Amino acid sequence: MTPHQARALFQAARVARLATADGAGRPHVVPIVFAVDEDVIYTAVDHKPKRSRALRRLANVAENPAVAVLVDQYDDQDWDRLWWARADGTGRVVSTGSDEEQRAIERLRDRYAAYLERPPAGPVLAVDVRRWSGWFATSASAGPRASD
Amino acid sequence: MTPHQARALFQAARVARLATADGAGRPHVVPIVFAVDEDVIYTAVDHKPKRSRALRRLANVAENPAVAVLVDQYDDQDWDRLWWARADGTGRVVSTGSDEEQRAIERLRDRYAAYLERPPAGPVLAVDVRRWSGWFATSASAGPRASD
């Protein structure tokens, strides 16, 4: 899978999983909704956060900015249709009230109908992606079916 | 979500995401198929591994045994149906040829029809779970719908 294909799969996916690690290297992983802007992935803390968890991913990024984000397709009936794409990069909290925060929130609202009712709250986390990579079970899946 | 509910959601799920980190604390995340035996999660390296990736998760566990495994439900139409469950624990490679490896492979084959054609190869990774936790968007989801 090329970096371009990996990014395209992120742009088409609705949910991703965000892996962070604390300063001691203990990994943490949560599902996220997100938006992609060039080589940056944006996600907002949930509108209905469980406070301790919302803080965990942010505390981890403050201690250790290395993060990995995954999107994938699983198909129990046909393992030839499996694929995943990963973005490795650096996480940072976007400055509150900045233009970048506003743009990120607009992108998230444009992308998820649920955000129209309940706009994203809390800080916006940006992941500056250094590497897009991925894997298809079969090269045949690299065609239009890849984003099924 | 109670630890019992979190484990039950793992037992019902078909795919999970495994987060590891290397010795420097850089996180890594991949989708896995798996089987749960009490407080242990077993997964095998893919029958068709991309060698470098297969090794990465194992190399990470050797350097840094802390791992987190996630299962979740996403529903674009109804965010009240969202949930996730996470298992935090310690990873280890199961001894080749051991009874435990044999049991783990049998469980994986029993669970996934695709493994009947192409039995799991490569080392089996065990995660000894210390903590099962999770989150429901609404407490109403804690009922039978939770494993929808």
Q: What value does the mean pLDDT take over residues B87-101?
A: 96
Which residues in chain B have Cβ-Cβ distances shorter than 8 Å to A113? Answer: 76
Tell whether A130 lies on the interface with B, counting CB pairs under 8 A.
no
DSSP state of A81: G
8 Å CB contact between A30 and B85? no
For residue B52, give every residue at least 6 positions away whose Cβ sits within 8 Å of its Cβ, in sequence order, or none.
Answer: none
Of B48, B72, B79, the CB nearest to A114: B79
Q: What is the pLDDT of residue A5?
A: 97
Range scoring the smallest mean pLDDT among A19-28, B74-83, B125-134: B74-83
Name the minimum distance, in Å, from the CA of B37 to any CA of chain A.
21
Question: Which of B29, B55, B73, B112 to probe the A interface (max A CBs under 10 A)?
Answer: B29
Element (H, E) at B96: none
Which residues in chain A have Cβ-Cβ distances shorter than 8 Å to B20? Answer: 27
Identify the CATH assignment for B3-139 out of 3.30.1330.100, 2.40.30.10, 2.30.110.10, 2.60.120.10: 2.30.110.10
Minimal Cα distance from A63: which residue of B?
B25
Closest residue by Cα to residue A26 from B64, B93, B121: B64
Q: What is the pLDDT of residue A148?
A: 30
Element (H, E) at B117: helix B114-117
| Distance of alpha carbon B71 from alpha carbon A115, whole angstroms | 23
Tell whether B116 lies on the interface with A, counting CB pairs under 8 A.
no
Of A27, A50, A74, the CB nearest to B31: A74
Domain residue spans of chain B: 3-139
Question: Which of A28, A29, A131, A138 to probe the B interface (max B CBs under 10 A)?
Answer: A29
Residue B118 φ/ψ, nearest 5 degrees: -130, 90
- With CB atoms and an 8 Å threshold, state whether B72 touches A27: no
List the pLDDT tens digit at each of the 148 positions of chain A: 999 999 999 999 999 999 999 999 999 999 999 999 999 999 998 655 555 555 889 999 999 999 999 999 999 999 999 999 999 999 999 999 999 999 999 999 999 999 988 888 779 999 999 999 999 988 654 444 333 3
Closest residue by Cα to residue B65 from B122, B130, B127: B127
8 Å CB contact between A30 and A125? no
Tell whether B4 lies on the interface with A, counting CB pairs under 8 A.
no
Name the minimum distance, in Å, from the CA of A114 to any CA of chain B.
7
Q: What is the pLDDT of residue A121?
A: 75
Q: What is the pLDDT of residue B124?
A: 94
Of A23, A29, A68, the CB nearest to B70: A29
Residues 68-107 of A with CB under 8 A from B: 68-70, 72, 74, 76, 79, 82, 84, 86, 88
ipTM: 0.89
Question: Which of A15, A26, A84 to probe the B interface (max B CBs under 10 A)?
Answer: A26
**CA distances (Å), origin B88, targets B32, B127, B141:** 15, 8, 23
Q: What is the pLDDT of residue B120?
A: 84
Tell whether B117 lies on the interface with A, counting CB pairs under 8 A.
no
What would the 3-class secondary structure string for chain B be?
CCHHHHHHHHHHCCCEEEEEECCCCCEEEEEECCEEECCEEEEECCCCCCHHHHHHHHHHHHHCCEEEEEEEECCCCCHHHCEEEEEEEEEEECCCCCHHHHHHHHHHHHHCCHHHHCCCCCCEEEEEEEEEEEEECCHHHHCHHHHC
